[in-house]
Amino acid sequence: MHAERYVSLGLVLLAVALAGGSPASATETRLLRYPDIHGDTIVFCHGGDLWQVSAEGGVAVRLTAHPGLELFPRFSPDGRWIAFTGQYGGDEQVYIIPAGGGEPRQLTWYPASGPLPPRWGYDNIVYGWSPDGTKVLFRSLRPNPYYPAGRLYTVSLDGGLPEPLPMPRSGAGDFSPDGKRVVYSPLFRDFRTWKRYEGGWAEDLFVFDLESFENRRIAATIRTERDPMWLGDTVFFSSDRDGRLNLYAYHLETGETEQLTHHVDWDVRWPSAGEPGRIVYELNGALRVFDTVTGTDRALSIVVPSDELPRRPFHVSVAGHVEDVSLAPDAHRVLFVARGDVFSVPAEKGPTRNLTRTSSAHDKWARWSPDGKQVAFISDRDGEDELYVVVPDGRSEPEQITDGARAMRFAPEWAPDGKHIAFSDKDDRIHVVDLASRDVTTIDVPDTQPWAVVRDYTWSPDGRYLAFSAYDDTDLRSIYIWSMDSKKLRRVTGPTFDDHTPEWDPTGKYLYFLSRRTFAPQISDA
């Protein structure tokens, strides 16, 4: 009986092993990025490393393991090599490895720009290969390292200096099958978070003839066309012309544009094409494959085997991540906000207390009450920015004060009597909360500038008035005072000068503020 049970269990484990997984790795992995496909094989980036998997999905195999990032892998036309952007030397350079993995070989050596702001992406981004497989196509910032105006280059597998393509400014690009033309975007906005953008930075696609230098715009709309891929006589690309980034095809012979996918919840990201006519792309952190011949689109279930070290609890020093500070009324303790938590730290001796202990929320703008017995802060732990109050002993859970926010909220300011709290939001409103009744009074700030946000509100010593500054249509600020008793707003400085940052004197009889009152001809006030 027991022997049969052991045999059955062994058969089950053997079947799982042959299927390429284990009971613990049955859940598919997300955050798979920058995929490429060749034949029946896909290469992608996960956790800063390159991985390979069957085009049908399954368990992935690791190709790189360097502590730096390995990004943007692209198969050579014959499938023998993978070119990618790697940080082996500390900055981003172009490398190649055998398609099955192996020692990377560096192709570019010019010092990369960076580290770059996230919205600029990376330097030396690999986009593909020349059709004959002798050169790697990549985008470099070397012509202008101080501004993200990059250019497409090719570098030979045999070494030597990279050669720029004729277009002086380029984003993503791809060669035509005969290598005589390039489809590309002059702009690069791939890492910016703007959605449904229709301004001057909306990317357009052009077909550039490398012999005649003729440049022709294709498939243009007021929104974004990006990620060009050239297969046969068709240019494939992604566009958010329907509200989400989806795959499209532009037929060069007819000039017609055809929508291929119709995703409504998530954007198509980082598509890449390979023979025989398939496009792999990221959607909601997972990978999908679109067959351009049959028109079918299917999701892949991929497992990246891992010991999940980042998911294990570990200690992190927050000393270098402090974003806000507030001194206690008795100066014995200090509030620090770091890595989304609020800490109470002794000025000299005593324990450090984590007052919020949230790993999935951003707690911010912590402020002591006038008597030092409570701490108010803003947190998005319920999905929106709300006002919370907590006792600073670190033993109790925070109490939510407001509910129903629909905008980012800023620092709470306690009234001197400790009975009211004022805070502002990104929609240029000031809110005053009665802590006893939880009633919220909203002050409509008379700002005339749509971008303006009030941040300099301050209570009078008796708690009866709130002073702040607001913009006129001349881009100059004036000082206003709001009355708790009458709920009325009064302007106390004129429109001639830029007045801001009011502060009350200890008696409440005078209001001090900063003002620019010197006129001098100049280009700007920067």
Q: What is the DSSP string of 259-308?
A: E----SSS--EEEEEETTTEEEEEETTEEEEEETTT--EEE--EE-----
Question: Domain boundary at 286, 306, 326, which?
Answer: 306
Q: Are residues 141 and 222 in the same domain?
A: yes
- pLDDT at residue 126 greater than cutoff 50: yes
Q: Do 187 and 66 reside in the same domain of the chain?
A: yes
Tell me the pLDDT tens digit for each residue of 45-95: 999 999 999 999 999 999 999 999 999 999 999 999 999 999 998 899 999
Q: How many structural domains is the chain composed of? A: 2
Q: Do residue 372 and residue 287 come from a single domain?
A: no
pTM of the model: 0.71
Domain annotation covers residue 15: no
The C-alpha atoms of residue 485 and residue 341 are separated, in whole angstroms, by 36
pLDDT tens, residue by residue, 169-219: 999 999 999 999 999 999 999 999 888 999 999 999 999 999 999 999 999
pLDDT in tens, 220-241: 999 999 999 999 999 999 999 9
**Per-residue model confidence (pLDDT) at position 524:** 59
Query: Are 60 and 202 in a shared domain?
Result: yes
Last residue of a domain, one of 256, 285, 306: 306
Q: Which helix (H) or strand (E) holds 17?
A: helix 2-18
Residue-averaged pLDDT of the chain:
91
Percentage of the chain with pLDDT > 90?
Answer: 81
CATH of the domain at 473: 2.120.10.30
Q: Are 118 and 193 found together in one domain? A: yes
The answer to whether residue 1 is domain-embedded is: no
If asked whether residues 283 and 420 sit together in one domain, one would say no
Strands of the sheet with 322-327, listed across from one edge: 322-327, 333-338, 341-346, 353-354
Is residue 8 situated within a structural domain? no
- Sign for the CA dihedral angle at 175, 129, 273, 264 comes to negative
Q: Which residue has the tokens 């700030």?
A: 445
Q: What is the pLDDT of residues 18-33, one digit of tens each?
A: 344 444 445 899 999 9
CATH number at residue 205: 2.120.10.60
Q: Identify the domain containing residue 494 by its residue range.
A: 316-516
Q: Is 255 a residue whose pLDDT tops 70? A: yes
Query: Tens digits of per-residue pLDDT, 432-458?
Result: 999 999 999 999 898 778 888 999 999
Half-sphere exposure of residue 296, counting CA atoms within 13 Å on the CB side?
Answer: 4
247 and 370 in a common domain = no
CA 526 to chain CA centroid, Å, is: 28
